[in-house]
Structure 1
């Protein structure tokens, strides 16, 4: 287990680690042993759940995208893992897996863009997704019944409203599957959603489970925006340092701490501390 992963899993009490968000994004490293400068490497990204008392965001440099990386980082993690449908995540056998609804929806958006004419099955399918997300916005404002906890209230609301829409979406996808050409954007979208169905719908069973991975994707977007400016890391060590810096700044952001003020405080205080 790496230093970063140990930091992540030790950051709080077990209740703080009920759920971890996982994802990755690309990074180019010019001077990497036994690899070409144009080869693509990755930054693994991990985040504690929304509402954590001690939120943390960690990026970790990875030379590839294989299953060894999440396995090494998370070890024998036994909580809930939110991720996309990439098979490497599913190899964590001790975790309870939930899928990202936004990833599934995005595929139908791409299928709609690929059509010569608007509408059709992609547009119809997106209406189901829109309903599901509308309900998810409403559930946050739902008030518990007398004697009902907020968690039970959210689960009840999802079971009452989200599950019927999801069942209708599943029936619709099953109905159009025989008519869809496999090697198309729509075929990919339908296949992905049906293959991930168990994971995509599991969020309705527990109010602590989010519907998608957008919380972490917003953090990754900040790294991706910076990457457009600096383009690449020169060395592996540079990529690792970049991961540390972004981890610190994104954790500040998640903790609602102004990053520059935090850096100024740390650099002011550290020289005054003995023994590091």
Structure 2
């Protein structure tokens, strides 16, 4: 027999009434425990629903919203101490903010550079029009000048190498080993016996790797110029030129490892016909930026793997600072005594931006707004330092005075906010990322050559990504 016990909103289906206690107070405890259990299940389900809604809003924001990560908060700056809670932001935003006076650039067309060559074209009136109605000759009193920017399209030419031969007339017809023909040696070329000059190779490789112009598009350009140069030939030339430049590559690597700071990053690349690998398998292009800050070295290294061993082999015996994102393949840097591992505030900010975009449209500003303002204040410190021309030691001291208090308050706020934030939510993931990466994120304070983020490496790899 099945008994149904009802208490409040809890329904108990009991197959054996003997399992129920006789004491009503004990029965009430069981029902209360079941209510708590059901409530926990409902809360867990609602939490999952909220997370799914949040992720769905983020997907919509990525597809249909603005791609820029520029923070558009109302208040320009938060105080360094006693940071407000989310409920206080609405009140704070109503306060009046004084905007300092600023100068504007004059609108209009910029003058053309003076160093460009100029060709003067005079547009004069006919000689018969230079006589006045009264019969007097007109006198030139001035002129009106306007400049137009012109360009000469690429010129394809053939360099004809001529090597004269010389022989002795007196020795002609005499069978003697001394009778010789002299000729100048063949000039050294990057690709021996090839038709490509150094200038043509530089043009093709620069268009491919700097301007993201694939070989098949260059093939069409050469066709318009009247030259039949197919993409397979250009690809072969690129590989041969790369082998010839290997000594230069070693010199660049040496210069890279001599600098005080290296920015590292990696991106995916798909190779269609790589021996022993499927065309759909991901490979990676690693980029390293470092050396002398006035003329930094950009070094690209292809590898089929994203393993941290790739970066470890490149940075072997390096001493200095290395700035990366939060990818775990760079964790080996934390164990090297002579390396200072720096994090990237741009990646930390991006996670808060995603959490902010996933908020409901009508939701009030909350924790994401506070976090983004903290990060914005850090960048304001850098902007002020750059405006004052601070470098090296001066920049470090300025950061210790102005950025360290912001970092200290931000960390306290993150630790406090993490106690009542769902770890699986976008905000929870952003807070967890910052706290896990905190030692790396604040390490830039002591490195005068570094910026708060790893954008130098990301900007360096962008041309490759565009032409990928």
TM-score (norm 1): 0.73
Q: Which has the larger Rg?
A: 2
The equivalent residue for 1:26 is 268
Residues 49-198 of structure 1 correspond to what in structure 2 (within 5 A)? 52-92=293-333, 93=336, 94-117=338-361, 118=363, 119-142=365-388, 150-198=391-439
Quote the offset at 1:6 in angstroms. Answer: 4.1
The equivalent residue for 2:460 is 219
Quote the offset at 1:73 in angstroms. Answer: 1.6
Q: Is the Cα contact below 8 Å between 1:142 and 1:154 reproduced in 2?
A: no
Quote the offset at 1:142 in angstroms. Answer: 2.9
- Distance change >3 Å, CA 175–CA 61, structure 1 → 2: same
The aligned length equals: 218
Q: Is the Cα contact below 8 Å between 2:253 and 2:299 reproduced in 1?
A: no
Structure-2 separation of matches of 1:4 and 1:66: 26
Deviations 1:26-52 (A, max 9, x none): 111122344322121110010016x62
Residues 205-216 of structure 1 correspond to what in structure 2 (within 5 A)? 205-216=446-457
- Distance change >3 Å, CA 167–CA 5, structure 1 → 2: farther
Q: Is the Cα contact below 8 Å between 1:143 and 1:153 reproduced in 2?
A: no
Quote the offset at 1:4 in angstroms. Answer: 8.6
Which stretch has the larger CA shift, 96-105 or 118-127?
118-127
Structure-2 separation of matches of 1:165 and 1:5: 42
Deviations 1:215-269 (A, max 9, x none): 1211212211112xxxxxxxxxxxxxxxxxxxxxxxxxxxxxxxxxxxxxxxxxx
The equivalent residue for 1:200 is 441
Q: Is the Cα contact below 8 Å between 1:19 and 1:209 reproduced in 2?
A: yes
Structure-1 separation of matches of 2:429 and 2:303: 27
Q: Is the Cα contact below 8 Å between 2:351 and 2:430 reproduced in 1?
A: yes
Quote the offset at 1:9 in angstroms. Answer: 3.6
Q: Is the Cα contact below 8 Å between 1:132 and 1:165 reproduced in 2?
A: yes
Specify the SS of the correspondent of 1:160. Answer: helix
Q: CA RMSD in A?
A: 2.2
Deviations 1:86-138 (A, max 9, x none): 12112132421111111111111111112224532112110101111111110
Gaps (5+ residues) in structure 1? 145-149, 228-276
Specify the SS of the correspondent of 1:91. Answer: helix
Quote the offset at 1:20 in angstroms. Answer: 0.5
- Distance change >3 Å, CA 7–CA 184, structure 1 → 2: farther
Deviations 1:53-95 (A, max 9, x none): 4321011111121111101122121211010111211213242
Q: Is the Cα contact below 8 Å between 2:288 and 2:457 reproduced in 1?
A: yes
TM-score (norm 2): 0.44
Query: Larger helix proportion, structure 1 or 2?
Result: 1
Quote the offset at 1:3 in angstroms. Answer: 7.5
Q: Is the Cα contact below 8 Å between 1:152 and 1:207 reproduced in 2?
A: yes
The equivalent residue for 2:161 is none
Q: Is the Cα contact below 8 Å between 1:24 and 1:44 reproduced in 2?
A: yes
- Distance change >3 Å, CA 71–CA 6, structure 1 → 2: farther
Q: Is the Cα contact below 8 Å between 1:67 and 1:91 reproduced in 2?
A: yes
Specify the SS of the correspondent of 1:71. Answer: helix
